[in-house]
Amino acid sequence: MDDHSIQKIAIEAATNLVAAEHSQPFGFGVDVYKVLDKIFMMAMIYQGEIIVTVKCSPQESEMLRDIYPSIRPGYHMNKKHWITIYPGKEITMELVKDLVIASYELVISKLPKHQKKV
């Protein structure tokens, strides 16, 4: 999959999620996606590479990094709870979509009960 595709697919997946909001609180070029003020995805260019960063459970994060060379600890985030997806031939559209949706669901699962009615 080419470089721009991972970001395009991730942004499309994030945009289609209920109550997802897009902003650029860290400045132009850093697209942040939140649900109820909690970040679940960031997309940007880092050192010339298009990357997507999503939240992930520590166990799944470790497993994904072992399986996929293009998945690394979260850039500029807690390395235990975030992963960054770099372009790579082993990264599929389905994987990117699944990781974005899983991140969104993980963030929602951590919200207080009164906020979960998204």
CATH number of the domain encompassing residue 57: 3.90.1150.30
Give residue 117's pLDDT: 60
Q: How many domains does the structure of the chain reveal?
A: 1
Per-residue model confidence as pLDDT tens digits over 69-98: 999 998 878 888 999 999 999 999 999 999
Phi, psi of 30 (to 5 degrees): -115, 100
Beta bridge partners of 41: 33, 54
Look at residue 68 and tell me if it is in a domain.
Answer: yes
Q: If residue 55 lies in a helix (H) or strand (E), which one and from where to where?
A: strand 49-55
Between CA 118 and CA 111 the distance in angstroms is 10
Between CA 13 and CA 6 the distance in angstroms is 11
Beta bridge partners of 85: 52, 71
SS3 label, residue 65: helix
Between CA 1 and CA 90 the distance in angstroms is 8
And the tokens for 111?
């919200």
Look at residue 66 and tell me if it is in a domain.
Answer: yes
Give residue 47's pLDDT: 87
Q: Which residues of the chain are modeled with pLDDT < 70? A: 1-4, 114-118
* Percent of the residues in the chain that have a pLDDT greater than 90, as a whole number: 75
Phi, psi of 102 (to 5 degrees): -65, -40
Question: Environment class of residue 51 by beta-carbon count within 10 Å: exposed (0-12), middle (13-18) or buried (19+)?
Answer: buried
Q: If residue 33 lies in a helix (H) or strand (E), which one and from where to where?
A: strand 31-35
Look at residue 116 and tell me if it is in a domain.
Answer: no
Look at residue 86 and tell me if it is in a domain.
Answer: yes
Look at residue 10 and tell me if it is in a domain.
Answer: yes
Domain span holding position 38: 3-111
Look at residue 118 and tell me if it is in a domain.
Answer: no
